[in-house]
Amino acid sequence: MKITWFADMTFRIQIAGRTIVTHAEEVPQGIDRSELIAGAQTVVSTPSSDLAQFDFLKWRPRRRTRLIDREAGEEGLDLFGFGARGLLVYSVDEGVLVLDEASAGAQWDRFADNGVVVLAGSGTRCAAQGAALLHIARPRLIALAVNDSEIDIAFDALAAGLGQASLIVLEPNLAVEV
């Protein structure tokens, strides 16, 4: 899994052999939108009505199918809307990836165990969302997509309660492989 953060909720994700771009309409100045979405199999935008909203009460991870039973083109990948502008990606091989705009007030549960969670927004809100997440679930990694001036707020607030989880800060335009 490779995650590249550009600004706000604009991400390019490579997972399970698929490239997903989120909120390309908000691409920051200096980034060519057509270049950002080039090669992407899925582009998710803010008013995306074609994605079902994630419901943690009903969701169950898919079982891994045998290679002989897989349909052609099936990569074992599920996409869901998460909150107002977020995205939950589930890969049979790579697990759960959550992109959450911290201001949206996501409802966390055990679905995030051993997953990768990206919190984007202000440092204060990311700290609050991260603390709520760590109270309920044990993610493998929390990645912060915050402005430089607010990194310390979020990082310091979350560092003490991580347990076995890892915490990183994403740099704009720099890919991170998880």
Q: What are the pLDDT tens digits along the chain (178 aa)?
A: 999 999 999 999 999 889 999 999 888 889 999 999 999 999 998 665 688 999 989 988 877 666 666 665 556 789 999 988 899 999 988 999 999 998 766 789 999 999 999 999 999 999 999 999 999 999 999 999 999 899 999 999 999 899 899 999 999 999 999 9
Find the Cα–Cα–Cα–Cα dihedral 13, 19, 24, 27, rounded to 10°: 50
**Residue 154 backbone dihedrals phi, psi, to 5 degrees:** -70, -45
**Do 172 and 31 form a contact (C-beta atoms < 8 A)?**
no
139 burial (CB, 10 Å; 0-12 / 13-18 / 19+) is: buried
Counting Cα atoms < 13 Å in the Cβ hemisphere of 47 gives 1
pTM of the model: 0.90
> Tokens 């997972």 map to which residue?
15
